[in-house]
Structure 1
Amino acid sequence: MPSIDVAGHRIAYEAYGDPEQPLLVLVHGLNGDASTVAPLAARLAEHFHVVTPDALGHGRSDHPASFTIEDQGRVLNALVAALGRSSATLAGISMGSYLVAQAAILEPARTDRLVLVVSKAHGTTSSSAAFAARRGVDLATLDPEAAMALLAEALWSPDTPADRRAELLGSMAGEQVQLTPDEQARVERSLAGFDLRPGLGRVTAPALVVSGASDGLNPPELGRELADHLPNARFEVYEHSGHMLASEETDRLVDDVLSFTAGD
């Protein structure tokens, strides 16, 4: 897995597709890494040079003792520059969407278009931790399997059958780097009390905001609020998806991203 020094940190990433194509940076969700967005990256690589970084504090990138969502945004902008591009389409899923939105706030000219999947504009902590806390559980004390079981009702649409859920989870397992409880706690601290709303008006790129109708972590009303704070946003709700939208309705998401980035 290649890596690069940007903004004072070593960032690991995977790359897909023709380097001569327009650049699309795709960022994974909480506690994930580049491997968790690989299937979507491969689909988008038919039309883009797709780069999927391990976010700061995740995967094989640096795991500093302390960092902020602003640090994450600076890393993404520096990554685009280090790859020899003046700008790129930035796309993120769940936590990844907060990071790419922060990047667009910090340096608007570096973002051509912004794709925010199962997103929100603010939160006291991560959506997963908040969901678990409402059920009296500290998510950091659970192993990955137990955490996924707890979060299942918030993650999936009722339209996604159990065998399909198992298939999708199985396809994500294997290469992902599991964070230690201490590393998870650092990530949670980086998200504590984040609020993008004061800066969203500075974003100049057109934005596509996509929510899943059954998302129990970042429900559609939070996606709508985010879109309403952006100067030029298109908002879509996928009726057959939960928080796992990128896996549940992949074909529609790919089609929408391609249409949006083409200016349709």
Structure 2
Amino acid sequence: MAASGEPLTSTEYIQHHLTNLQVCSTEHGLQWGHHCSEAGFWVLNADSLFWSISLGVFFLWLFRRVGKKATTGVPGKLQCFVEMLVEFVDGSVRDTFHGKNKLIAPLALTIFVWVFLMNLMDLIPVDLIPYAAQVSGVPYQKIVSTTDLNLTFALALGVFALMLFYSVKVKGPIGFLKELTLHPFNSSNVFIQALFVPVNFLLESITLLAKPVSLGLRLFGNMYAGELIFILIAILYSAGAVLGTLGGVLQIGWAIFHILVITLQAFIFMVLTIVYLSMAHEDH
């Protein structure tokens, strides 16, 4: 429903569900919703922050609880599931990461579970929480944090910062600089090598920067498209009994298929993180 109480058109319905609850500070004080449209750069997507932080805290609480109550005998279903998950991630790290770093396995587990939980919110009916929020006076509520480009890029930039840190730590500042300037074109002739340095630096810089960009865009694009399909199917409910029934069938079918998508996207984000950090640990 619109603020005036009139039903939303299909376009307005889609725009409403794809709009974040933004919070900003203006000359009139703390504002939210459409008041932040001209607030500039310092605008917070409050719903993305709330749901991502809440799910992260839930992940930490759940795994800590399982860890404290773990038994050496026959494990319960939850402990068995967590152990299988930890073994799966540990196996992926062993197969992909060729350096020595105790941070990588916990980081990979955190990324996989956290991204999966944020993606999993896409299976909640699209109108359930936004409608409850609107009744409570909150105009927008976008609960799938990974459909927010700001959040997926924040995750990718975190991985990128670790890549740079370990590249400098393992290879040294000079070694990292050589990697950027002496590859892929090299020569034993010093003069020819000097000519290739700017070309190598340009190519390697583009390759380096493309990693976090592709990492963030891939997760955002897939999850945004999936959420949009759920919203488009939901529109059928207002188009009569026949199309409404068809919409229900399509919703269930897409949700079942989307289970594979949300799991695969979390896995891909985890594996690429491991691969990029493995490359950062390689010292030629």
TM score, norm. by length of structure 2 = 0.22
Q: Give the strand-richer structure, 1 or 2.
A: 1
TM score, norm. by length of structure 1? 0.23
Higher relative contact order (CA 8 A, sep 6+): 2
